[in-house]
Amino acid sequence: MTQTRPGRVGFALAPALLFALGLSACTGQGGPDRIQSNPVRLDVLPLTIASPSRDRSVIYGGQDDPQLTYSAGFMKRVGLGTISASSTLSWAPDSRSFYVNDSGNAEGSELRLWRIGGRRAIAESPVVRHAAIQQLALRNRCASPDRMEYTTTALGWGEGGRTLYVLTGWHRQVNCPPETRVEAVVSRIDVLTGKVEQTLPTDDARLAWPGLPLAESELTSTAQSDAAP
């Protein structure tokens, strides 16, 4: 009659248990973050883009009048300024924010983000864009980045709208050293505070966050350097 050695079963189960614990730590109890975007292209024709909650919307005037207007009912409309045609807009799943990837000019996109607070008041917030630029600037040893030297493109919402994934690249260098060590990064940033939760080079971001709409053409900076001598 054979006897089971004490501890052998526990030792055999340990790797499986450790793997399960590690998987839980990586994905969280709710599983991997579900990245949401559904961007709407703002081009030639006027368009009204309703929020997921359906109680507020953004009105785009079209190519001939590219104004944005926030509407929270007939009695509450707020002008948000002008954007460029061929931009894209996306509401957060929780309807508390929306972003516009403003095509701006041929040099690249600029992320613009609006937050909606109490009584449906709305304000544009630069904190996410500033945080994203700072991440790439630090990696290139640039202490005084100028936002006009960088491109910022929102890729999608995380955690129902609490975070935003932002692709940051550069199109020209004036304030920063001419040598570029990192051309582009993707950052996951808290929408309210601008706190950067994680930043990865684009190749790593594509593996870590497979839901991101990172096309091959977006992984390399398309800008030309016209750095000052």
Query: What is the distance between the alpha carbons of residues 192 and 115, in angstroms, rounded to a whole number?
Result: 8
Query: What is the distance between the alpha carbons of residues 200 and 167, in angstroms, rounded to a whole number?
Result: 10
User: Does residue 1 carry a pLDDT above 70?
Assistant: no
- Tell me the backbone φ, ψ of residue 11, rounded to 5 degrees: -65, -40
User: Residue 128's closest CA among 81, 191, 38, 183?
Assistant: 191
Per-residue pLDDT at 105: 54
Higher local confidence (pLDDT), 164 or 18: 164
Q: What is the pTM of this model?
A: 0.78
Task: Delimit the domains of the chain by residue range.
Answer: 36-218
Please give the share of the chain, as a percent, with pLDDT higher than 70: 75
Strand 40-42 vs strand 87-91: parallel, antiparallel, or unpaired? antiparallel
What does the CA dihedral 202, 135, 183, 204 come to, rounded to 10 degrees? -20
Confidence grade of residue 84 (pLDDT, cut at 50, 70, 90): very high
Per-residue pLDDT at 15: 33
Report pLDDT digits (tens) over 191-213.
999 999 999 999 999 999 988 88
Per-residue pLDDT at 107: 60
Q: What is the mean pLDDT of residues 128-153?
A: 90
Mean pLDDT of the chain: 79
Report pLDDT digits (tens) over 146-194.
888 899 999 999 999 999 999 999 876 666 766 767 889 999 999 999 9
User: Residue 113's closest CA among 93, 103, 128?
Assistant: 128
User: Does residue 25 carry a pLDDT above 70?
Assistant: no
- Tell me the backbone φ, ψ of residue 8, rounded to 5 degrees: -65, -45
User: Does residue 132 carry a pLDDT above 80?
Assistant: yes
Per-residue pLDDT at 213: 87
Query: What is the distance between the alpha carbons of residues 229 and 204, in angstroms, rounded to a whole number?
Result: 33
C-alpha of 31 from chain center: 20
Higher local confidence (pLDDT), 228 or 140: 140
Query: What is the distance between the alpha carbons of residues 134 and 128, in angstroms, rounded to a whole number?
Result: 10
Report pLDDT digits (tens) over 85-110.
889 999 999 999 999 999 875 567 89
> H helices of the chain, where?
8-27, 127-139, 202-208
Name the DSSP letter for residue 95.
S
Query: What is the distance between the alpha carbons of residues 205 and 213, in angstroms, rounded to a whole number?
Result: 11
Per-residue pLDDT at 44: 94
User: Does residue 223 carry a pLDDT above 50?
Assistant: no
